């Protein structure tokens, strides 16, 4: 009886293992991270929507390599330490063959080295800091980088808005906001403008009046505030309360419906650089916007769009590689030249995309397309 019982148990284990393997052999596990809680939660929710929609679209067309795609998602909370933890979990426990995300540069700089060491391709969605892809040859991104975005912002401020004096206010604890301000300052100065104020604030600050008072005393015509939407909206309100009437310009971290909700009239007539506009008339954009609205009941922001694009780029790379092997997918991704929602995209030698940027204006509490700036 004992022998039979052991044989039965062993058989059950073997059958369970066989069934488990059979199931995994029919799926391709893709890891994905984004902050669905924390300071940039709206970014994460939009990004997850984009990932989910891309997986559903590709699976509806038969998947890849005869297998269905399965998304293994984790909340990185916008925290680098948490990002490193969940990336490790997705690779080691979920056996993800590639990684989508993260959204934030500081999280990408923590999670990227883990993917690089494991030879697992990672496509960051909106991590714009130049250092991200310098981690190694398995790290890609779907967004333009801060030097380009900061330059675009400066050119728009100087040439289009015809300003000659600007000031910057940014989060000193965030590589993204600090970097954008530095690139803006360099280009604005090179164009002949003067940056009369360059002030930082601590992460988590809610009262910016000390910095703004100092800045406004220098009489800038324009404020450059590349903080995330929540801080940017508060800064705009406090700047208006202190009497600043000029335009405020920011980066893609402004792209959230919360910006207008929090900022109200203070953010009206302000501008930010972004990756795409829902008003773009290209069929690929309009089809995506229509399908996203049907699925999620809202217009897709740049976070959702770049998440969808990152997933599409990855899936196309796996398809062209003909296997999920890390080095093969990496090599296929390097050769990408593909039309995605945010534009025609190919990668440069640092695996950064060569693509255009758009300028968005806030009018009537809505995001309105203003201009496209090519690389």
Instruction: Return the HEC string of 204-227.
Output: CCCCCHHHHHHHHHCCCCEEECCC
pTM: predicted TM-score of the whole model, two decimal places: 0.79
Structure tokens at 225: 């505030």
**Collapsing DSSP states into helix, strand and coil, what is residue 156?**
helix
- The interaxial angle of helices 326-334 and 302-321, nearest 10 deg, is 110
- Residues 260 and 153 occupy one common structural domain: yes
CA distances from residue 355 to 42, 119, 145, 236, 293 in whole angstroms, order as listed: 24, 26, 10, 30, 25
Tell me the residue ranges of DSSP E strands in the chain.
27-34, 68-75, 99-100, 122-124, 139-141, 165-171, 194-201, 222-224, 248-250, 271-274, 337-340, 343-347, 353-354, 357-363, 366-373
Q: Name the domain count of the chain.
A: 2
Whether 206 is covered by a domain: the verdict is yes
- Look at residues 250, 274, 298 and tell me which one is the last residue of a structural domain: 274
Backbone φ and ψ for 121, nearest 5 degrees, come out as: -60, 135
Question: For the domain that residue 99 is a member of, what is the CATH number?
Answer: 3.40.50.2300
Whether 182 is covered by a domain: the verdict is yes
Q: How long a stretch of residues is the chain?
A: 375
CA distances from residue 122 to 103, 310, 317 in whole angstroms, order as listed: 12, 9, 12
Which ranges of the chain have pLDDT less than 50?
A: 1-23
Could you tell me which residues are beta bridge partners of residue 373? Answer: 357
CA–CA dist 179, 172 (Å, integer): 9
**Sheet containing strand 271-274, strands side by side:** 194-201, 165-171, 222-224, 248-250, 271-274, 357-363, 366-373
Domain of 309 in residue numbering reads as 14-144+282-355
Whether 366 is covered by a domain: the verdict is no
- Residues 107 and 155 occupy one common structural domain: no
CB 279 within 8 A of CB 294: no
Residue from 264, 256, 260, 271 nearest 358 by CA: 271
End-to-end CA distance of the chain, in Å?
76
Q: 229-280: per-residue pLDDT in tens?
A: 999 999 999 999 999 999 999 999 999 889 999 999 999 999 999 999 998 8
- Residues 24 and 172 occupy one common structural domain: no
CB 305 within 8 A of CB 50: yes
Whether 369 is covered by a domain: the verdict is no
Residue from 186, 184, 180, 190 nearest 157 by CA: 184
pLDDT at 60: 98
Percent pLDDT > 70 in the chain is 93
Q: 64-91: per-residue pLDDT in tens?
A: 999 999 999 999 999 999 999 999 999 9
CA distances from residue 258 to 202, 279, 301 in whole angstroms, order as listed: 21, 20, 12
pLDDT at 375: 66
- Residues 151 and 139 occupy one common structural domain: no
pLDDT at 11: 38
């Amino acid at each position: 009886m004992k022998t039979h019982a052991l044989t039965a148990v062993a058989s059950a284990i073997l059958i369970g293992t066989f069934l488990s393997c059979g199931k995994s052999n029919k799926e391709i596990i893709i890891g994905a991270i984004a902050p669905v809680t924390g300071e940039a939660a709206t970014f994460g929710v939009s990004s997850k929507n984009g990932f989910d929609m891309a997986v559903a679209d590709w699976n509806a067309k038969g998947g890849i390599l005869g297998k269905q795609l399965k998304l293994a998602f984790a909340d990185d909370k916008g925290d680098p330490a948490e990002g490193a933890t969940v990336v490790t979990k997705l690779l080691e426990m979920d056996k993800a063959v590639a990684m989508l995300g993260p959204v934030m540069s500081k999280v990408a700089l923590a999670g990227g080295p883990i993917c690089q060491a494991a030879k697992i391709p990672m496509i960051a969605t909106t991590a714009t800091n130049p250092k991200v892809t310098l981690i190694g040859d398995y790290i890609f991104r779907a967004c333009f980088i801060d030097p380009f975005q900061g330059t675009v912002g400066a050119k728009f401020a100087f040439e289009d808005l015809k300003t000659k004096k600007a000031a910057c206010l940014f989060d000193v604890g965030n590589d993204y906001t600090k970097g954008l301000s530095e690139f803006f300052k360099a280009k604005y100065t090179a164009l002949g403008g003067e940056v009369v104020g360059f002030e930082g604030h601590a992460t988590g600050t809610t009262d910016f009046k000390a910095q703004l008072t100092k800045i406004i005393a220098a009489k800038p015509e324009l404020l450059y505030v590349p903080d995330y939407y929540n801080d940017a909206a508060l800064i705009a309100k406090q700047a208006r309360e202190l009497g600043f009437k000029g335009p405020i310009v920011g980066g893609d971290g402004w792209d959230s419906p919360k910006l207008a909700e929090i900022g109200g009239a203070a953010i009206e007539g302000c501008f930010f650089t972004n990756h795409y506009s829902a008003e773009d008339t290209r069929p690929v954009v309009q089809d995506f916007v229509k399908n996203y609205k049907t699925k999620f009941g809202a217009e897709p922001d740049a976070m959702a769009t770049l998440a969808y694009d990152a997933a599409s780029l990855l899936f196309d790379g796996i398809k062209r590689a003909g296997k999920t092997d890390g080095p093969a997918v990496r090599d296929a991704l390097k050769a990408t030249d593909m039309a995605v929602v945010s534009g025609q995209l190919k990668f440069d030698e640092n695996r950064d995309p060569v693509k255009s940027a758009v300028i968005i204006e806030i009018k009537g509490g809505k995001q309105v397309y203003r201009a496209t700036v090519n690389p």
